Structure 1
């Protein structure tokens, strides 16, 4: 069936109660099986396995891979085959959704192992005992759940943020489970076509796999690579043409055009408002400020003499995060009625008006009671295990709330969670509160950044459940089950297979853990307090903070007619320009498509119809429709297919490249380790 969604006009004009009632009457699927034994067990098994891929890739690259869409397709395929063989029945769409919530939380619950935990070990030269890791990571995951659900009411039910990856998972499930119908079959074909194209491009981009499988070179990672290599580069040099800004090569400013189409699809889901906001921020940062600051010697090159995202972001992230912080806080507190109503329900009398979704939402009492309890446990454990003073641990709790707002806003708009930037901001805070205490700096940042990341990722998982009409409290339970499953398998592998008690492996070629290296480096720098920040960076913090408030206030006063997003504008200071450009192209391309389709629809209906914004759903008109109308009607399906295909191929290539096609040094290391093991026997 076609997914039912509110139009942007309805989102702006309807009250929260009206939106909840509309969802209950039009989307909610009642008591359809959701969190069943088989969905729970399947999610835990798939999540446990996929957590290992995330663990190893994170150890090598510092990145966490989303596994939601992967688990959805695997679970659907397994139960479809079993059903055809007469063994059991297929999963319901909501069982598959509950399963993906469990699998996804299992996939990312172990990220501190290759970030904050590894950084702590590098600083103290001591490996955290495994039992401490189990308790600490479960507390972080649980606190993320408790912070997420009060925010769900605001960001999913009321503001209807897209959460692009979550939306993609919802569209994939709808297409898979509704494919018997004509419309569902058409959507399934679009989904498969977009996925196949994206997967094929990702395969062509991987040089190691292309050489191994086909003996051929890969296509360039960016279209502009032809400007920097071969005869064309010599020709440009002869003509005196160099692609630079103020003498800085465009490639070192990350001003490139990526050949991947995954971020283009992400832009199609996020809409034109966010796409334009990202582009404005990207131009301001990479075209205007960064070249000027490099020329003035304020942004300095790396030891290798290059710039790139890492060097530029050392200056840019402070102003960008400040803009995201103030705008997120202003946006959250600009609708006090929602906050007051939530807490008023705690002391509501029997004859007072009830929340229409009270019977399926996770009760806010759970968060009100649970957050203080779990926080106190973390504060006590932080003191007992990591030497954090009680008051410094207590400061982390309100910081979690602030950073969760930022993370959820960013993830909801772009599917990008700025965990690294939030961690650095926490480290800066504790660099001021506890100068010289490097262990407190690392582990306090672990609380705020990891809990905020857990909360935003959980809301990404809840988004497809909201789209498909599931029960939110089931997904809360599933998130906890997933955390248990992920740790049950990945923790023993981390301790007994990967690090094997050898602290010296951290930061080496065998175990690069780049995220942890960054955490440690920032902690060491921040021991100096604010003195390391250039005066222009301090000015950028003030300007970014004021800009975030100004944009959100203007949007609030204009009732949404001012469409710039301060969160997206600030986030652009943390991303590569190539990713920003791709997301803008996707949002702009699908917006143009939908504008043209809207005009055709208006003419076909023989009545005037204003052009709809990029996110708007188009009404169905009987009869054949041109390709651009079909494309506009199926924007979510096409983009979801591209994201799913690229993600699946990307995960497969990453695992293949690291495990099956290692470099010579990796082969030698593995051989030495195997020889050592056999020799000990």
Structure 2
């Protein structure tokens, strides 16, 4: 069913109490199962695995990848399969939501490992004990949870910020679990088409991958202006536009994110990008305040060199805009505090969500307690003076506001920029103390990151009517799962030769290298920062205050956002442009096709969110897989693609066969597979005929022949990798193991084909009168599933044995 949401007018004019009451009456799902044991276990397992993925990707690129949508699709598909086998009930939408919260929390636990902690170990040339690392990153993450929830009522309940990535996850879950077959199928199809298009574009711009696939002829340029530079180098004040990141790229993921975040933020980003990259940066290059690097006789700049100067103004504007936005409406937080001391007060009686939201006393008690623990750990582990650690706590509050504001509007959390701002602060407070500089920056950046990520997870829960308390508990479970999974692997893989050899060609650790370089620069004091950067920061801070004051004075009707304009200085111009174009496209579509009966209105306007969610999900998943290919090799990438195709095909079959689930056939097509008797088969077919869905059963069976091919290829690749794990050297034994896998796959496929042919015969012709043929079909189904389970078990055994065998 369509997700219910408030209109822009209601968001601007309703009070928080009215919005909470509306949510309780229209969205909240009451006691639907949410934080169940299977949701917790699934989330922790998937999160642990995906945290390892983030660890490798982060070591190579400096980025961590959102795992929410990935985990949602994996868990949904897994429990759909188990449900079809009669081994488990399907996930409820809120179980899936809670699971993604757990998995996402685990996936983001790798952040400190590839940034602040890695930089600290390289600077000090010491390996921090593993237990210390687990305790440290867990404590920071818990403090992030405590800082996040007091902000939830404002950013999600009251101002209804989009949190585009979280919103996309909510839309994906709603489409997968929709109880309205027609509406759900329509949204699922649009989401699938958008995801496929986005994934295809991402694949075609992954040039190295296409070369390894021998498909280089199909490659499309990553930047649409690349051909221009063959004939002419467009410049601005003497600097090539591409060195300023002023380019049009094919980042369709950011185009989708722009569609979700809206035109106001898109315009703000574009204005900030033009001012920063087209006016200020070229001017500063001419002045010599931004230094380039001479490569083959050509002066190069690029985003990393440009942002060393530009980020200070952007961060200053985000800081003042975020603080003004918070203190301009303090009644939300104040009323929550009053509830602590006035048990029968008017505020408590009017708070309709007091039994649903996390109690305020948790934060009032938890923040000082966990904050004190973090300060003590910083002193004990990193030698940070207690008073310097105490100063970091109010900085956390400020930076969390900035991070949450940015994440709420764009899904981009500027942790790198906020870390540098802390490093600048401690460059003044503790000059020439590089360890304190890195450790304190790690505190503020990682706590702000976790707070932002938690609210991103809470957003889909709010959209779907979940219980915030259970999601908070789930997030904490994910924190422990991610720490316990990622830290041991991090030490085994990256620290086996000591911290000085952590950076290699295979794992350049770019984020840690930047943290280390900034610490070495700023520990010499603020005087090392260009004077022009300081004046720009001051002017941007004043402008941020003015913009937010104007927005509040006009009750949100003023378009520009100080946070959006400031954020443009810490992300590349091409990313800002892609997000702006996405927001502009859907804004124009809404005005061009305003008639609700118009076909394009039904596609682009009514289903804007599923389309954007698909663009984000498809491109992101393909991007992740392309990064994994560089780490694990082409064979692993082929396996990932085959698994993705299998899951997507399976989900499509489920959507086609959804209408076949009736009281007579509660498991849909699976009820026919295990009918066993002629009488039972006739009963099911008669029921489908009476309901007018017999043709859908026929279509589902014909489509299943394609699914047989897809899962056979997937299992063949999986078997090949498992055989190489067991017998790594090419030999007759290795080929023999794979041959056994192929035989098992072929047996399962033949059973499936025979079963489908028999069922098509029953549906096309007269239903069976004798029990022999239905029993044969059911035996084929049983043999097929038994073979697939045995193959899965054999793969697991081969992988396990391969891991422990000496090489």
* Same fold per superposition (TM over 0.5): yes
Q: Which has the higher contact order (CA 8 A, sep 6+)?
A: 1
Match of 2:623 in 1: 650
Match of 1:314 in 2: 308
SS at match of 1:109: helix
Q: For residue 585 of structure 1, report the CA deviation from its aligned partner.
A: 0.4
- Superposed CA deviations along residues 613-654 of structure 1, whole A, max 9, x for unmatched, are xxxxxxxxxxx5321343101111100011011111111111
Q: For residue 535 of structure 1, report the CA deviation from its aligned partner.
A: 1.4
Match of 2:386 in 1: 390
Q: Is the 8 A contact 1:179 1:185 kept in 2?
A: no
- Superposed CA deviations along residues 548-585 of structure 1, whole A, max 9, x for unmatched, are 10000111111112121000000001111000100000
Q: For residue 289 of structure 1, report the CA deviation from its aligned partner.
A: 1.1
Match of 1:330 in 2: 324
Match of 2:333 in 1: 339
Equivalences for residues 403-418 of structure 1 within 5 A:
403-418=399-414
Partners of 1:72 and 1:7 in 2: CA distance = 27
4+ residue runs over 4 A deviation: none
Q: For residue 510 of structure 1, report the CA deviation from its aligned partner.
A: 3.8
Match of 1:567 among 563, 568, 582: 563
Match of 1:620 in 2: none
Match of 2:668 in 1: none
Match of 1:299 among 290, 294, 307: 290
Partners of 1:483 and 1:394 in 2: CA distance = 24
Q: Is the 8 A contact 1:42 1:75 kept in 2?
A: yes
Partners of 1:410 and 1:220 in 2: CA distance = 30
Match of 1:606 in 2: none
SS at match of 2:293: coil
Q: For residue 180 of structure 1, report the CA deviation from its aligned partner.
A: 5.1
Say whether 1:220 aligns with 2:221.
yes
Match of 2:359 in 1: 363
Say whether 1:98 aligns with 2:71.
no
Equivalences for residues 35-114 of structure 1 within 5 A:
35-114=35-114
Match of 1:139 in 2: 139
SS at match of 2:503: coil
Q: Is the 8 A contact 2:339 2:345 kept in 1?
A: no
Partners of 2:179 and 2:347 in 1: CA distance = 41
Match of 1:549 among 527, 539, 545: 545
Say whether 1:32 aligns with 2:23.
no
Equivalences for residues 184-223 of structure 1 within 5 A:
184-217=184-217, 218-223=219-224
Q: For residue 342 of structure 1, report the CA deviation from its aligned partner.
A: 1.1
Partners of 1:458 and 1:559 in 2: CA distance = 28
Q: For residue 497 of structure 1, report the CA deviation from its aligned partner.
A: 2.8
Partners of 1:349 and 1:450 in 2: CA distance = 35
Say whether 1:625 aligns with 2:601.
no
Q: Is the 8 A contact 2:338 2:347 kept in 1?
A: no
Partners of 1:152 and 1:17 in 2: CA distance = 14
Match of 1:494 in 2: 490
Match of 1:372 in 2: 368
Q: Is the 8 A contact 1:495 1:501 kept in 2?
A: no
Equivalences for residues 655-670 of structure 1 within 5 A:
655-661=628-634
Task: In structure 2, list runs of 5 or more residues that go unmatched.
Answer: 636-727, 730-802
Count the aligned residue pairs: 635
Match of 2:272 in 1: 281
Q: For residue 112 of structure 1, report the CA deviation from its aligned partner.
A: 0.4
Q: For residue 36 of structure 1, report the CA deviation from its aligned partner.
A: 0.2
Match of 1:455 in 2: 451
SS at match of 2:353: coil
- Superposed CA deviations along residues 9-65 of structure 1, whole A, max 9, x for unmatched, are 110000011100100000000000000000000000000000000001101111001
Match of 1:577 in 2: 573
Q: For residue 213 of structure 1, report the CA deviation from its aligned partner.
A: 1.5
Say whether 1:11 aligns with 2:11.
yes
Partners of 1:373 and 1:643 in 2: CA distance = 39
Q: Is the 8 A contact 1:168 1:643 kept in 2?
A: yes
- Who wins on radius of gyration, i.e. which is larger? 2
Partners of 2:499 and 2:566 in 1: CA distance = 37
Partners of 2:37 and 2:598 in 1: CA distance = 44
Match of 2:123 in 1: 123
Q: Is the 8 A contact 1:127 1:501 kept in 2?
A: no
Match of 2:713 in 1: none
Match of 1:266 in 2: 257
Q: For residue 385 of structure 1, report the CA deviation from its aligned partner.
A: 1.2
Say whether 1:589 aligns with 2:562.
no
Q: Is the 8 A contact 2:17 2:352 kept in 1?
A: yes
Partners of 1:560 and 1:10 in 2: CA distance = 12
Partners of 1:340 and 1:511 in 2: CA distance = 47
Partners of 1:349 and 1:27 in 2: CA distance = 27
Partners of 1:530 and 1:353 in 2: CA distance = 47
Q: For residue 401 of structure 1, report the CA deviation from its aligned partner.
A: 0.3
Partners of 1:187 and 1:510 in 2: CA distance = 41
Partners of 1:88 and 1:156 in 2: CA distance = 34
Partners of 2:525 and 2:345 in 1: CA distance = 55
Q: Is the 8 A contact 2:259 2:583 kept in 1?
A: yes
Q: Is the 8 A contact 2:314 2:568 kept in 1?
A: yes
SS at match of 1:447: helix
Q: Which TM-score applies when normalising by structure 2?
A: 0.77
Say whether 1:638 aligns with 2:611.
yes
Partners of 1:537 and 1:297 in 2: CA distance = 12
Q: Which TM-score applies when normalising by structure 1?
A: 0.91
Query: How well do the aligned residues superpose, as a CA RMSD in angstroms?
Result: 1.7
